[in-house]
Amino acid sequence: MSHEHPFAGFIRILGKGKQGSRPLSRDEAREALTMIMRGEARPEQIGAFLMLLRVQEETPEELAGFADAVRAQMQAPSLAVDLDWATYAGKKRRHPWFVLAALCLASHGVRVFMHGAQGHTVGRLYAQQVLEALQVPICRDWQQVSAELNRSQFAYLPLERMAPALGELIELRAVLGLRSPVHTLCRMLNPLHAPASIDGVFHPPYGPRHQQTAQLLGSERNLTLKGDGGEAEARPDSESWALWLLDGELSEQQWPRLLDKRLVRDDQIDLDTVVALWRGERAHEYGEAAVISTLAITLKLLGRGEQPEALFAQAAELWAQRDIGHFV
């Protein structure tokens, strides 16, 4: 190759040593990811780019630029939605109870758009698996998202359908052996520009980055929860670290526990247990408390109250009155 590849400059910005390297600007990040999604970067360049970002740790400006690129390419329609729920971690040690919290909200008229990926990390249960077990439709495209939101106030769109190029990039975890900025980026997309958005984080240092990225992207109300397993699920038997963006103001909070005692984990996690709890066919002390705790903190995000005790009571009532057959 006689001429330098157009993408090489972005790798040089990130990798030119301790003194010469720097983060990408928001515009540079947007341009770089646009080239990747268009197939204009070589595979070895993509790997180098993602791992340099991984080592340096992506900045909020870079994440905002990446989100700009994805939003421009996916060209999501204008659909009315109340809550954007990102789910990309999967659950390993506890069941994915947060899915039931989202469905409960939708059964009470809150329009919830959920997006996520599955299978990129072995040994985990993902939101899509729970939805399939409950016979909740998995959307193929934006047209079906619109139809499901109107039918049941809930729609789930897999990442590979929403942004196929990102779906391919997130699968590189098995090739590279490490997560990449794509795992954070997907959580920040809020493609339908919902006025409220919720996401989870496993590693605490990433929390403020999510907060600041949401602020740069113009989010009105965002909750980043250091939840169970990296998902937006409040722990009912211990405090949960919540990072808020509410009407432009950033804050932090230790969300209180609902249960006084710590509960032992289940020996194994399975879909049948989650389905049975939703249908009222089986009791599960931790599961029900996790749903109510997650519902309560989400109600605060939606502006339904401020004080945890009142929100816990409101959440318990919503859970007790959920419409079990609402989505079938």
Residues 12 and 104 in one domain: no
Look at residue 78 and tell me if it is in a domain: no
In the 8-state DSSP scheme, what is residue 93?
S
Residues 115 and 229 in one domain: yes
Look at residue 3 and tell me if it is in a domain: no
Residues 25 and 107 in one domain: no
Cα separation, 300 vs 284, whole angstroms:
25
Q: For the segment 315-327, what is each residue's pLDDT rounded down to a tens digit?
A: 999 999 999 989 8
The answer to whether residue 175 scores a pLDDT higher than 90 is no
H or E segment and range at residue 73? helix 60-74
The mean per-residue pLDDT over the stretch 220-245 comes to: 94
Structure confidence at residue 2 (pLDDT): 65
Residues 152 and 286 in one domain: yes
Q: Residue 276 class from Cβ within 10 Å (0-12 exposed, 13-18 middle, 19+ buried)?
A: middle
The pairing of strands 196-200 and 83-87 is parallel
Q: What is the DSSP string of 300-328?
A: HHTTS-S-HHHHHHHHHHHHHT--TTTT-
Give the domain CATH number at 206.
Answer: 3.40.1030.10
Look at residue 99 and tell me if it is in a domain: yes
- The percentage of the chain sitting over the pLDDT mark of 90, rounded to a whole number, equals 82
Residue pair 275/133 in contact (Cβ under 8 Å)? The answer is yes
Cα separation, 188 vs 71, whole angstroms:
11
Residues 146 and 282 in one domain: yes
Cα separation, 48 vs 44, whole angstroms:
6
The answer to whether residue 79 scores a pLDDT higher than 70 is yes
Look at residue 327 and tell me if it is in a domain: no
Structure confidence at residue 120 (pLDDT): 59
pLDDT band at 299 (very low <50, low <70, confident <90, very high): very high
Please tell me which residue, 88 or 227, carries the higher pLDDT value.
Answer: 88
The answer to whether residue 290 scores a pLDDT higher than 80 is yes
Structure confidence at residue 294 (pLDDT): 98
Q: For the segment 239-259, what is each residue's pLDDT rounded down to a tens digit?
A: 999 999 999 899 999 999 999
Residues 15 and 111 in one domain: no
Residues 103 and 236 in one domain: yes
Look at residue 74 and tell me if it is in a domain: no
Residues 146 and 258 in one domain: yes
Cα separation, 62 vs 185, whole angstroms:
9
Look at residue 167 and tell me if it is in a domain: yes
Look at residue 73 and tell me if it is in a domain: no
Look at residue 147 and tell me if it is in a domain: yes
Structure confidence at residue 1 (pLDDT): 54
Residues 21 and 135 in one domain: no
Residues 163 and 17 in one domain: no
**Phi and psi at residue 116, in whole multiples of 5°?**
-175, -175
Residues 146 and 44 in one domain: no
Total domains in the chain come to: 2
Q: For the segment 84-137, what is each residue's pLDDT rounded down to a tens digit?
A: 999 999 999 999 999 999 999 999 999 999 999 987 566 789 999 999 999 999
Residues 14 and 95 in one domain: no
Range of the domain at 23: 8-56
